[in-house]
Chains A and B, each alone.
Chain A
Amino acid sequence: MEHILKNGIVYDPTNGINGEKKDVMFKDGKIVDNVSDDAKVLDVTDKVVMAAGVDVHCHIAGPKLLLGRLYRPEDERKGVKAKTGVTRAETGFSIPSCPATGYRFSRMGYGTVVEPAVPPLEAKHTHEEIMAIPNIDVPTLPLFGNNWFVIQFAKENNIEDLAAFVSAWLKITKGYGVKLVNPMGSEAWGWGMNVHGIDDPAPFWDTTSREVIRALAQANEMLKLPHSIHVHPNDLGHPGNFPTTVNTMDCMKDIQKNSEYRNQTMHLTHAQFHSYEGTSWRDVESGVKPVVDYINKHDHVTCDVGQVTLDETTTMTADGPMEYDLYALTGLKWANKDIELETASGLVPFIYSGRNPVHSLQWAIGLEIFLTVEDPWKVVLTTDSPNAGPFIRYPRIISWLMSNQRRMEMMDNKEVHSWSHRKSSLATLDREYDFQDVATVTRAAPAKIYGFEDRGHLGAGALADIAVYDLEPNNFDPSRDAAAVEKAFSNALYTIKDGEVLVKDGEIVKVVPSRHVWTNVQGFEEEEKRVLEQIMPMFNKYYTVRFENYVVHDQYTVPEFEYKVNASK
């Protein structure tokens, strides 16, 4: 089937197209340069056309989400929508049910969403949830930062065996890349403790976060994985944590990149939570400057923001100790889930409010990062959903980024507390994103960071994942009408996935199953076999499931989308 999207205003930063009026053609699920006269015409004259969105970090499937849904029916009761002829019923606001997750991303024009924290022991569960999510491709990042095997390899500085382990575990869990969460800190949480900074070993282990990060980064490059290591550093959400963040980035700057497509060797996730100065919540201030200065000066790091949206939400992370701290702070119901040999995790509901000084400062810090990272290819729009706010608020964030007027208005009429401008530089930043910047931070940069050569752009050969928004950039000023921007980005005129129209006029018209995207490393088979044999006695002794039942079997990843990479040795 051939299609032609006619006369749209195209924003495709990867291919250097910035607001040109042109046609986008696709055939059999791929973008092409030419189509025959039989092609079906979709007229999108003067509307914004971009590649479908790519989300680098959004918790949408797995045991943490499940815990949230189980213990927060009050959240599920928000956002309830009855079934239609096409869609099933929807529930939930910050932790929507699986079908609702797929529909909502599809309506916003997204095509690929990464689930960034999968405990390997429960990877099957995550894949089961992905089977229930429609309309988006979902790569997953298994957690490696507190895995006992990883810690041992890191301690011995045995990078080759570690690489073989990572390669094997990506196959076993059908994972895409390497995630680290509070390295050694979540292990310390096994004893109710935490580590502080990157040189503080966990109890009983003479190993530090620095060693784990460096080892995994080297293994990642040895395997030539499409994505770099994806790091949630230590000390998340603590006033005065910015030195830890800078040290984390700096400790691995000498590691050589081994990938032609991406630029970075480390992705710093939800930077907003890691950019605080001060010693307590009383004297906390924005610590964006040192963090962003570092990112601006170095090319081995990219980041996503984790923008606070000022909603009632549910925090959830594999950073178990942080969640307990949050519980101690708020007294709201605390859930925890520690996973044997692998990780910890925790949840606490959270009510971000513009009246609260700290929350307002967090809101400002996020925007500060967006507006001070000079190269938009180094920063990505996320809310660490649902941690800083639910993903359905992305369009609102876009509207803030595109309108200084709206940001000033919020600070002037006290929609946010005065800490937002007293303790950060936000009020002095008048930069506004244009549509090309928006396309960069929501599509092009995320795809590049993840090594997706076939997504996030509209060049020939890319997947026909396209979004069209009901805005006419040639007779519309986004800085003057934030509400219209939010509305348009919330309800795509068209969302096209693999050449099929899934959304039309903001409504779902077709539902397709989501694909499980994973990385299949080639060329490490011998080493994998040897390492598996080597670790099996420890596996059998300390896990509580048999290895045969631990593996994610093929039936849990239907349909799948496999990226093969050739590891260089």
Chain B
Amino acid sequence: MAYEEPVTDYDKIVENVTCAFCGSNCDDLDCLVKDNEVVAVRHACRLGASKIMEDEDQRLKVPLMRNEDGELEEVAWDTALDAAAKLIADSVRPLFYGWSETSIEAMKPGLELTELVGAVIDNQATICHGPTVQAVQNVGYPLMTLGEVKNRADMVVYTGSNPMNAHPRHMSRYTTYPRGWYRERGRFDRTVVTWDPKFSDTAKLSDLHIPFEENGDYEFVNAIRAVLKGKKLRKDVIAGIPKEDIYELTEKMKNAQFGALFFGLGLTHTLSKQRNIDIAISLVQDLNKYTKWVLLPMRGHFNVNGFNIFMCYEMGFPYGVDFARGYPRYMIGETTTIDLLNRKEADLFMVIAADPGAHFPAGANMHLVDIPVIQIDIHWGPTTELADIVLPGTFIGLETSGTSYRMDSVPIHMKKAIDPPETCREDEWIVNELLQRVKKIKEASK
């Protein structure tokens, strides 16, 4: 990286802005603003800074609808909203997906619309930490806020995740480097361990890297549990790891004063899926017989956890909730997005703040080609190519304030730093407009 001169030409600094990228929700960013544009941002990582600084790239700025030739063309807000409302009102099995990169405030009218038309509402957990939620429902959930790790932890384990690439400030702000109340020397007071088949950037910074074989997670964690329970390992090498190393690691974990285990999609999406998480949670529960251990999933989007929280307190279930019968149903494999699309069950798809075009399996995306798709987003993406109506939202946490929940469920009020483009509308406003217009159509047809 070439040296860059510090930015000195700005009107004002907006302090304590929350980063709307990953689940770390760093709320200490300073935005340097000139003429309603962010010219520099302090404290953010590369990912966060680029999301803020390079936001104008491929930004959706006006409502779009497909014309007769199948091209997206600019239309008035009223036209787009009316058309979208009609599609929703006429659908039999609507599916509203996304929500993880928008605010709780936008989810509220979204849920009201879902209840009104009897839709299915779902978020990205369905394709990322869904297995984690299943495991939690099986065996429990011993967790903490990140400050507990900062202030107390002398042992930190990352597995199936690579925070140096995906949550770049996780180690520096919360777990590894900061000085805590009981860990005055910061990094020097902690042992950092990475269990990962890959020698990731996080592994490079760790004191210990344990490269178990791919799909060896369950076996490896199971071996630690067995040792913890006083059993002898019969195989010399388990999941690619010599048994002596497992004995040694178990001893270390047992003797920590406060240990924290962080796991990511590397654990949820390998061979044993939620069973990997089951056993990781069970391990942490077992360790608490000897000392203090906690764990936390490394949530991806800044409000993916927020949607699960919001749905649980409003309707009792975390994701994939079906209102077709007038009461909420939650059946993984039945009321979850990918399954509904694979079965070609949904007849309308509204996506807000998500990019299924880039992330869904091809089979699911193929059904999206056949049904009307409404997109509410701030950027062009593969989903835009599938969309019939595009409604441009605003950037939560920069252009619009809102509430989000960090990966450890700490609620954060995200304030705004600049004004949104005049032609865009807030997500909350858009969803609420759709709700009001659908209500009108429903009332008229009574």
The chain A residues found within 8 Å of chain B, CB to CB, are 61, 63, 65-67, 69-73, 76, 80-83, 88-92, 96-100, 121-122, 124-125, 128-129, 132, 148, 189-192, 204, 324, 327-328, 333-341, 541-546, 548-549, 553, 556
Minimum Cβ distance to chain A for residue B332 (Å): 10
Task: State whether B410 touches A191 (Cβ < 8 A).
Answer: no
How many Å lie between the Cα of A544 and that of B136 in the bound state? 25
Q: List 23 A-B contacts (CB under 8 A).
A: A70-B308, A71-B136, A76-B330, A82-B327, A83-B327, A98-B313, A100-B316, A122-B411, A132-B314, A189-B292, A190-B292, A191-B152, A334-B140, A337-B143, A338-B148, A340-B150, A341-B151, A542-B180, A544-B145, A544-B173, A544-B410, A549-B413, A549-B415
How many Å lie between the Cα of A66 and that of B306 in the bound state? 11
Give chain A residues whose Cβ lies under 8 Å from the Cβ of B145: 121, 337-340, 544
Between B148, B173, B326, the greatest number of chain A beta carbons within 10 A of the residue's beta carbon is seen for B148
Q: Which 8 A-B pairs have the closest CB atoms?
A: A340-B147, A91-B316, A192-B292, A76-B316, A333-B140, A82-B326, A336-B142, A338-B144
Give chain B residues whose Cβ lies under 8 Å from the Cβ of A541: 179
Give chain B residues whose Cβ lies under 8 Å from the Cβ of A122: 409-411
Interface residues of B in 141-164 (CB under 8 A from A): 141-148, 150-152
How many Å lie between the Cα of A339 and that of B152 in the bound state? 12
A327-B285, A333-B139 known; A190-B148 Cβ under 8 A: yes
Task: State whether A546 touches B27 (Cβ < 8 A).
Answer: yes
Q: Contact partner of B412 among A63, A67, A69, A549, CB < 8 A?
A: A549
How many Å lie between the Cα of A335 and that of B133 in the bound state? 13
Give chain A residues whose Cβ lies under 8 Å from the Cβ of B258: 190-191
Q: Contact partner of B327 among A73, A80, A189, CB < 8 A?
A: A80
A80-B328, A549-B413 known; A91-B313 Cβ under 8 A: no
Task: State whether B327 touches A66 (Cβ < 8 A).
Answer: no
Between B145, B288, B405, the greatest number of chain A beta carbons within 10 A of the residue's beta carbon is seen for B145
* Residue B89 lies at the interface, judged by CB distance under 8 Å to chain A: no
Task: State whether A66 touches B144 (Cβ < 8 A).
Answer: no
How many Å lie between the Cα of A189 and that of B258 in the bound state? 10
Task: State whether A340 touches B148 (Cβ < 8 A).
Answer: yes
Task: State whether B138 touches A549 (Cβ < 8 A).
Answer: no
Give chain B residues whose Cβ lies under 8 Å from the Cβ of A553: 413
Q: Which of the 9-residue segments B75-83, B192-200, B317-325 touches chain A?
A: B317-325
Give chain B residues whose Cβ lies under 8 Å from the Cβ of A72: 137
Q: Contact partner of A544 among B143, B150, B181, B292, CB < 8 A?
A: B150
Minimum Cβ distance to chain B for residue A256 (Å): 35
Minimum Cβ distance to chain A for residue B261 (Å): 13
Minimum Cβ distance to chain B for residue A150 (Å): 15
Give chain A residues whose Cβ lies under 8 Å from the Cβ of B415: 548-549
How many Å lie between the Cα of A190 and that of B146 in the bound state? 13
Minimum Cβ distance to chain A for residue B410 (Å): 6
How many Å lie between the Cα of A70 and that of B294 in the bound state? 18
How many Å lie between the Cα of A542 and that of B152 in the bound state? 10
Given A71-B141, A544-B150, 13 more contacts at CB 8 Å?
A61-B313, A70-B133, A71-B136, A89-B115, A89-B315, A121-B147, A125-B405, A125-B409, A335-B142, A341-B151, A546-B28, A548-B415, A549-B18
Least CB separation from A204: chain B residue: B182
Task: State whether B181 touches A542 (Cβ < 8 A).
Answer: yes
Give chain B residues whose Cβ lies under 8 Å from the Cβ of A99: 314
Task: State whether B147 touches A91 (Cβ < 8 A).
Answer: no
Task: State whether A121 touches B410 (Cβ < 8 A).
Answer: yes
**Interface 1/0s, chain B 327-346, versus A by CB < 8 A?**
11010000000000000000
Q: Contact partner of A324 among B152, B288, B309, B327, CB < 8 A?
A: B288
Q: Contact partner of A89 among B27, B293, B328, B410, CB < 8 A?
A: B328
How many Å lie between the Cα of A338 and that of B145 in the bound state? 6
* Residue B403 lies at the interface, judged by CB distance under 8 Å to chain A: yes
Task: State whether A334 touches B142 (Cβ < 8 A).
Answer: yes
Give chain B residues whose Cβ lies under 8 Å from the Cβ of A88: 115
* Residue B237 lies at the interface, judged by CB distance under 8 Å to chain A: no
* Residue B257 lies at the interface, judged by CB distance under 8 Å to chain A: yes
Task: State whether B317 touches A336 (Cβ < 8 A).
Answer: no
Task: State whether A73 touches B182 (Cβ < 8 A).
Answer: no
Give chain B residues whose Cβ lies under 8 Å from the Cβ of A339: 144-145, 147-148
Task: State whether A192 touches B326 (Cβ < 8 A).
Answer: no
Between A65, A81, A97, A129, the greatest number of chain B beta carbons within 10 A of the residue's beta carbon is seen for A97
Task: State whether B313 touches A65 (Cβ < 8 A).
Answer: yes
Give chain A residues whose Cβ lies under 8 Å from the Cβ of B270: none
Task: State whether A73 touches B180 (Cβ < 8 A).
Answer: no
Q: Contact partner of B27 among A63, A73, A124, A549, CB < 8 A?
A: A549
Task: State whether A81 touches B27 (Cβ < 8 A).
Answer: no
Least CB separation from B144: chain A residue: A338
Task: State whether B317 touches A335 (Cβ < 8 A).
Answer: no
How many Å lie between the Cα of A82 and that of B308 in the bound state? 21
Minimum Cβ distance to chain B for residue A456 (Å): 28
* Residue B16 lies at the interface, judged by CB distance under 8 Å to chain A: yes
A542-B181, A544-B173 known; A98-B137 Cβ under 8 A: no
Give chain B residues whose Cβ lies under 8 Å from the Cβ of A76: 316-317, 330
* Residue B50 lies at the interface, judged by CB distance under 8 Å to chain A: no
Task: State whether A542 touches B147 (Cβ < 8 A).
Answer: yes
Give chain A residues whose Cβ lies under 8 Å from the Cβ of B411: 122, 124-125, 128
A71-B136, A327-B285, A549-B27 known; A124-B403 Cβ under 8 A: yes
Give chain B residues whose Cβ lies under 8 Å from the Cβ of A61: 313
Task: State whether A73 touches B330 (Cβ < 8 A).
Answer: yes
Give chain A residues whose Cβ lies under 8 Å from the Cβ of B138: 333
Minimum Cβ distance to chain A for residue B29 (Å): 10
How many Å lie between the Cα of A132 and that of B313 in the bound state? 8
How many Å lie between the Cα of A80 and that of B316 in the bound state? 10
Minimum Cβ distance to chain B for residue A288 (Å): 32
How many Å lie between the Cα of A146 and that of B292 in the bound state? 18
How many Å lie between the Cα of A333 and that of B278 in the bound state? 11
How many Å lie between the Cα of A61 and that of B258 in the bound state? 29
Task: State whether B151 touches A542 (Cβ < 8 A).
Answer: yes
* Residue B291 lies at the interface, judged by CB distance under 8 Å to chain A: yes
* Residue B312 lies at the interface, judged by CB distance under 8 Å to chain A: yes
Task: State whether A89 touches B326 (Cβ < 8 A).
Answer: yes
How many Å lie between the Cα of A541 and that of B180 in the bound state? 8
Give chain B residues whose Cβ lies under 8 Å from the Cβ of A97: 312-316
How many Å lie between the Cα of A132 and that of B314 in the bound state? 7
Task: State whether B316 touches A96 (Cβ < 8 A).
Answer: yes
Task: State whether A124 touches B147 (Cβ < 8 A).
Answer: no
Q: Contact partner of B141 among A80, A92, A336, A549, CB < 8 A?
A: A336
Give chain B residues whose Cβ lies under 8 Å from the Cβ of A100: 316
How many Å lie between the Cα of A257 and that of B356 in the bound state? 62
Give chain B residues whose Cβ lies under 8 Å from the Cβ of A89: 115, 315, 323, 326-328
**Interface 1/0s, chain B 403-439, versus A by CB < 8 A?**
1010001111111000000000000000000000000
Minimum Cβ distance to chain A for residue B255 (Å): 13
* Residue B104 lies at the interface, judged by CB distance under 8 Å to chain A: yes
Between B139, B142, B152, B318, the greatest number of chain A beta carbons within 10 A of the residue's beta carbon is seen for B142
A76-B317, A97-B313, A541-B179 known; A192-B291 Cβ under 8 A: yes
Minimum Cβ distance to chain A for residue B291 (Å): 5
Least CB separation from A90: chain B residue: B327
* Residue B174 lies at the interface, judged by CB distance under 8 Å to chain A: yes
How many Å lie between the Cα of A69 and that of B141 in the bound state? 12
Task: State whether A545 touches B27 (Cβ < 8 A).
Answer: yes
Task: State whether B412 touches A81 (Cβ < 8 A).
Answer: no
Least CB separation from B28: chain A residue: A546
Give chain A residues whose Cβ lies under 8 Å from the Cβ of B313: 61, 65-66, 69, 97-98, 128-129, 132
Minimum Cβ distance to chain A for residue B282 (Å): 10
**Interface 1/0s, chain B 76-105, versus A by CB < 8 A?**
000000000000000000000000000010
Give chain B residues whose Cβ lies under 8 Å from the Cβ of A191: 152, 257-258, 291-292
